[in-house]
């Protein structure tokens, strides 16, 4: 299978990796400082850094530019943090699913988690719940989808990857049908436009209060995947080979799936359906760093954050009215993916 083939070294040597790793830490930080100053109220990187530094150390009283402090800390910073978290979460969960299923096209949609969380969030919007209520019901539906998939895929106490995938396809179709039903019953003038716009993805609703609910779940899931990243290499082997190395394959699969599901449901609940991140970023990381998940997962942390920061900044600053996130991720992701296919012929993805 192409996924397991010798695309293991990547396009960079170890010497180049030595210099690249610090850059993967520095660039996202620099991007945050730059992006926080871009918008209708523009700030230079120096001004943004000064406001962030003084605001974090001394509070509002330590910043001379009151309007700048309000724009940065009350409006843009929560959105910047959400963009980083979603970029990290979606890319890492995508890499985990791809490694787990030994399939470069596997994403959270494979398990129907995104569709379940989206269905829950749209139901919350239809019931006119507040933002926190929408987030909570989206998380419940996303995790509920995972539970149903495990029940369908488990037979005599055991589950296998193929049953998981097929169950995910069933759940995805079922939740898409429920989603269509919700849109059918929604008021075409009051509720339907909001539901349709939310499904296209947006970080507009970012706030510190919403981050307190969603961020811990994203961070927990990401940390678990990062700590277990070396075992993803073993799970790509046959089940007998993995067990001979002392790995409980069933337990490890469940842990990875639950962690990735938690991350995906949390991201979807806060910013809607955001496509391509979980597919594209792990593929780019694999082309650069090879197929070793010890390097792919950390690379996804940086590349996912950078990608979402750039996309969200374009979405909110390029035009007067905000561009939906998924429109931009698809506009960028599809040509890049086509280029990768043409360049590699599908081998080594």
Please, are residues 243 and 66 in contact by the beta-carbon 8 Å criterion? no
Query: Cα 297 to the chain's mean position, in Å?
Result: 13
Contacts of 61 (CB under 8 A, 6+ apart): none
pTM, full prediction: 0.87
Please, are residues 297 and 233 in contact by the beta-carbon 8 Å criterion? no
**Residue 7 confidence (pLDDT):** 44
- Which tokens go with 237? 């082997």
Q: Which residues of 318-339 are buried (b: 16+ CB within 10 A; e: fewer)?
A: eeeeebbbbebbbebbeeebee
The residues facing 154 across adjacent strands are 159
Please, are residues 263 and 90 in contact by the beta-carbon 8 Å criterion? yes
DSSP 134: H
Q: What is the mean pLDDT of residues 6-21?
A: 56
Residue 16 has pLDDT above 60, yes or no: no
**What CA–CA distance (Å, rounded) separates 301 from 319?**
28
Residue 270 has pLDDT above 80, yes or no: yes
Residue 13 has pLDDT above 70, yes or no: no
- Stretch (H or E) spanning 132: helix 131-153
**Residue 309 confidence (pLDDT):** 95
**What CA–CA distance (Å, rounded) separates 305 from 85?**
7
Least-confidence region, from 180-189, 215-224, 335-344: 335-344
**What CA–CA distance (Å, rounded) separates 159 from 134?**
32
Q: How confident is the model at residue 8 (pLDDT cuts 50, 70, 90)?
A: low
Q: For the chain, which domains are there?
A: 2-344 (1.10.3470.10)
Residue 125 has pLDDT above 80, yes or no: yes
Least-confidence region, from 33-37, 61-65, 75-79, 243-247: 243-247
Q: What are phi and psi of 158, to 5 degrees?
A: -125, 150
pLDDT tens column, 37-63: 998 888 999 999 999 999 988 888 888
**Residue 6 confidence (pLDDT):** 40
Q: Count other C-beta atoms under 10 Å from residue 219's C-beta.
A: 16
Q: For residue 294, which of 223, 246, 232 has the smallest C-alpha distance?
A: 232
Q: What is the mean pLDDT of residues 341-345?
A: 74
- Which tokens go with 172? 């995805």
Q: What is the mean pLDDT of the chain?
A: 84
Among 13-22, 68-77, 194-203, 247-256, the range with the most confident prediction by mean pLDDT is 68-77
**What CA–CA distance (Å, rounded) separates 137 from 112?**
16
Residue 201, classed as helix, strand or coil, is: coil
Q: What is the mean pLDDT of residues 286-296?
A: 86
Q: Count other C-beta atoms under 10 Å from residue 222's C-beta.
A: 25
Among 101-110, 159-168, 246-255, the range with the most confident prediction by mean pLDDT is 246-255
């Amino acid at each position: 299978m192409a996924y397991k083939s010798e695309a293991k070294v990547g396009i960079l040597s170890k010497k180049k990796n030595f210099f690249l790793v610090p850059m993967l830490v520095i660039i996202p930080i620099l991007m945050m400082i730059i992006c926080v100053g871009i918008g209708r109220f523009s700030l230079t990187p120096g001004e943004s850094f000064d406001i962030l530094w003084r605001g974090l150390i001394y509070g509002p009283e330590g910043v001379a530019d009151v309007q700048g402090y309000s724009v940065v800390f009350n409006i843009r910073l929560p959105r910047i943090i959400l963009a980083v978290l979603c970029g990290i979460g979606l890319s890492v969960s995508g890499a985990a699913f791809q490694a787990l299923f030994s399939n470069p096209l596997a994403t959270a949609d494979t398990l129907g988690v995104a569709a379940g969380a989206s269905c829950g969030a749209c139901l919350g919007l239809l019931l006119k719940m507040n933002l926190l209520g929408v987030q909570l019901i989206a998380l419940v539906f996303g995790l509920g989808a995972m539970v149903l998939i495990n029940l369908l895929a488990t037979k005599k106490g055991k589950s296998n990857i193929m049953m998981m995938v097929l169950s995910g396809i069933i759940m995805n179709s079922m939740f898409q049908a429920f989603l269509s039903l919700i849109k059918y019953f929604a008021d075409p003038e009051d509720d339907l436009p909001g539901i349709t716009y939310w499904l296209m993805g947006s970080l507009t609703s970012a706030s510190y209060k919403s981050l307190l609910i969603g961020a811990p779940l994203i961070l927990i899931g990401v940390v678990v995947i990062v700590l277990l990243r070396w075992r993803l290499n073993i799970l790509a082997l046959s089940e007998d080979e993995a067990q001979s190395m002392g790995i409980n394959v069933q337990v490890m699969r469940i842990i990875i799936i639950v962690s990735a599901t938690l991350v995906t449901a949390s991201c979807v609940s806060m910013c809607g359906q955001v496509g391509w991140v979980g597919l594209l970023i792990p593929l780019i990381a694999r082309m650069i760093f090879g197929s070793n998940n010890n390097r792919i997962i950390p690379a996804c942390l940086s590349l996912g954050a950078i990608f979402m920061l750039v996309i969200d900044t374009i979405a909110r600053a390029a035009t007067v009215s905000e561009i939906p996130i998924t429109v931009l991720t698809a506009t960028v992701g599809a040509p890049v993916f086509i280029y990768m296919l043409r360049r590699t012929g599908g081998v080594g993805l």
